Amino acid sequence: AIDNILVQADGSGVASVKSVEGAMVTALDGNVIVMGADAGEVVVVADTAGRVLYTGTGDCRVPVSSGTYIVKVGATSVKLLVN
């Protein structure tokens, strides 16, 4: 089972936190951050136009502009808002 957790707060810089494939995906201070991903697990960050901004494995921090992004960890994708 996959649990999606959404936390929104004003002024903290945290836009949302989501649990994906055992990893946590969050937006903080203009970055998409993936924590807790397995070392060999593929992580992809793309914008809503489908442009891939990052492909790698395991935990990562990807600097992005404000907007909506699709973050894929393993076989599961989530939509993430970056303020």
Place 83 in a pLDDT band, splitting at 50, 70 and 90: confident
Place 17 in a pLDDT band, splitting at 50, 70 and 90: low
Cβ pair 71, 37 in contact under 8 A: no
What burial class does residue 16 get, using C-beta atoms within 10 Å of its C-beta: 0-12 exposed, 13-18 middle, 19+ buried?
A: buried
- Asked if residue 82 has pLDDT above 50, the reply is yes
**Look-up: residue for tokens 């494939």?**
21
How far, in Å, CA of 8 to CA of 82, rounded? 11
Q: Could you read off the pLDDT of 24-69 as tens digits, one per residue?
A: 999 999 999 999 999 999 999 999 999 999 999 999 999 999 999 9
